[in-house]
Amino acid sequence: MRRSLRVCILFNTLLLSSAASRVAAVKQHELLSDTLAFEDPRAFKVKSLGELLRALGVFRLCSFPVLVNNCGKLMSVARTLLGKRGFSLLLRPTVYAQFVAGENEAEISQSMQKMSLQGLRPMLAVPIEEDLGESTGEKRYDDNMDIMLECVRMSHSNAWSKDPMMQLKITALLSPELCVKLTNVIRQQPYDLNLLIRSMDGEPISFPGLDEKEAAHLRSGLLRLNKIAEASVNKVRVLVDAEYTYMNPALSLVTMAMMKKFNKDGTWIWNTYQCYLKDSRSLLLDVLSLSKNEGFCLGVKLVRGAYMDKERKLAMKEGHQDPIHQSWEDTNDSYNGCLDVMLDVISQEPERYRIIVATHNEESVRRAVKRMEELGIDRDGGSVCFGQLLGMCDHVSLTLAKEGYSVYKSVPYGSVDETLPYLVRRAQENRTVLQGIRKERDLLRKELNRRLRLSLRGGS
């Protein structure tokens, strides 16, 4: 209570003068900080009984470390034993239904409408992922572009939410090998953003440090990205994902070029900053000053980061310094620090800067909410919104939405096979899965009990 009191006092001295409104405000703030303890099972009121039971079942499975730690292996064994159809029959009503929206537009649409009714906004994400050695030629990338254009269309045309957003993985359109090469090239010899923009406009640029074949692939990739950006401007905000450190600088370069070209009067292209990186804060400060100097609006997706284990293994193998913060606590400090930086610039120029606080961490969410109040940033003004993954920490998302904040759920779609790597990665997200889910499970149980009691009482 002490902290909420402090917030109230600060808020009061800033905004209020009369005693009566002061009392009202204190009450309101105590209510808000109680709500944001995320301990009210009634957040799940909007869920059907089937959904409650499914979530309980899936989270129960996620609570066995043996299952979670070996889930990649287990899934591929199950797939071999059961065959493609049997495996799909097993996964579809359970894990898949919990974390994935569906396979075709009809299925996706149904999930999205349900989400809309719950006050949540969908953010479609095609889980196409490529790492080194998995790429398969220009045709594959053109096909992926068509899938992304389809994603733009679906996000925009279905009116599932106002202000639609979608996620984009650059390595679906530009080979990871080239992204690695480009990362190394620009370390020696930084490219001017205008070079990339001219290439997006179709000029036959020859890029220093790349051979003709690589340059040709980069040009095609930039054309693909340009096409997606053109299709989405003024319709759908495109949030570019951050991936591995050995290619992120190239991904950011390309994204910043898109920002410079398309974000003159609005935040249509966004970039992602992973706070588990030791240099996340300086990367964020760099792009803030770049956006000022180059005159583009900046959208930031702030995450902790999803590739920790692989990054660390690679650093160890290659004898590099570990790019990831030493401990979870350091990552936490970094996340909250970057959050403060963004909220400060947003309070000064809300039309130029935007952030999606993409986290399941309740403490970070509460900090963001508190800071927004202190700085007088609107709950639904558009410059700050929140993001969680579909099927994870609904107690956080639903509570925030109920309080009037904009909340997006990242919604992957595709067949069981296409979404499998995504599902495996979800299960392996350590803290979130094993701790956050424990709390969500307790709340789900409470809600189930509450309904049982209600129906017993109603029936007697």
- What are all long-range contacts of 223-227, with beta carbons under 8 Å and residues at least 24 apart? 223/199, 224/141, 224/142, 224/145, 224/173, 224/174, 225/170, 225/173, 225/174, 225/200, 225/254, 225/258, 226/200, 226/201, 226/258, 226/261, 227/145, 227/149
Q: Please, what is the minimum distance in Å from the beta carbon of residue 115 to ligand FAD?
A: 14
Binder of ligand FAD out of 144, 410, 412, 423 (CB under 6 A): 410
Taking CB under 6 A as the rule, does residue 354 contact ligand FAD? Answer: no
Binder of ligand FAD out of 149, 307, 315, 442 (CB under 6 A): 307
Binder of ligand FAD out of 271, 274, 280, 291 (CB under 6 A): 274
Taking CB under 6 A as the rule, does residue 361 contact ligand FAD? Answer: yes
Q: Please, what is the minimum distance in Å from the beta carbon of residue 363 to ligand FAD?
A: 8
- Residue with structure tokens 């149904």? 110
Taking CB under 6 A as the rule, does residue 359 contact ligand FAD? Answer: yes
Contact residues: ligand NAG, CB under 6 A = 65, 68-69, 329, 332-333, 336, 363, 428, 430, 433
Q: Please, what is the minimum distance in Å from the beta carbon of residue 459 to ligand FAD?
A: 40
Per-residue CA distances from 368 to 10, 342, 343, 381 (Å): 16, 10, 8, 14
Q: Using an 8 Å Cβ cutoff, are 60 and 441 in contact? A: yes
- CA dist 154 and 431 (Å) reads 33
Binding site partner of 306, from ligand FAD, ligand NAG, none, Cβ cut-off 5-8 A by kind: ligand FAD
Distance from chain centroid for Cα 303? 7
Q: Please, what is the minimum distance in Å from the beta carbon of residue 131 to ligand FAD?
A: 13
CA trace torsion 198, 204, 209, 211 (10° rounding)? 150
Binder of ligand FAD out of 231, 306, 375, 424 (CB under 6 A): 306
Binder of ligand FAD out of 328, 378, 380, 453 (CB under 6 A): 328
Binder of ligand FAD out of 178, 256, 357, 389 (CB under 6 A): 389
Q: Using an 8 Å Cβ cutoff, are 225 and 260 in contact? A: no
Q: Using an 8 Å Cβ cutoff, are 394 and 440 in contact? A: yes
Taking CB under 6 A as the rule, does residue 395 contact ligand FAD? Answer: no
Mapping DSSP to helix (H, G, I), strand (E, B) and coil, where does residue 111 land? helix
Taking CB under 6 A as the rule, does residue 325 contact ligand FAD? Answer: yes
Pair of tokens at residue 393: 């920490």
**Could you tell me how many residues of this chain bind ligand FAD (CB under 6 A)?**
30
Taking CB under 6 A as the rule, does residue 283 contact ligand FAD? Answer: no
Q: Please, what is the minimum distance in Å from the beta carbon of residue 359 to ligand FAD?
A: 3
φ/ψ of residue 187, rounded to 5: -65, -40
Binding site partner of 307, from ligand NAG, ligand FAD, none, Cβ cut-off 5-8 A by kind: ligand FAD
- CA dist 387 and 237 (Å) reads 14
Binding site partner of 432, from ligand NAG, ligand FAD, none, Cβ cut-off 5-8 A by kind: ligand FAD
Q: Please, what is the minimum distance in Å from the beta carbon of residue 453 to ligand FAD?
A: 32
- CA dist 65 and 290 (Å) reads 44
Binding site partner of 260, from ligand NAG, ligand FAD, none, Cβ cut-off 5-8 A by kind: none
Taking CB under 6 A as the rule, does residue 327 contact ligand FAD? Answer: yes
Per-residue CA distances from 371 to 194, 281, 346, 386 (Å): 36, 18, 11, 14
Q: What residues line the site for ligand FAD (CB under 6 A)?
A: 241-242, 272, 274, 276, 301, 303-308, 324-325, 327-328, 331, 358-361, 387-389, 410, 429-432, 436
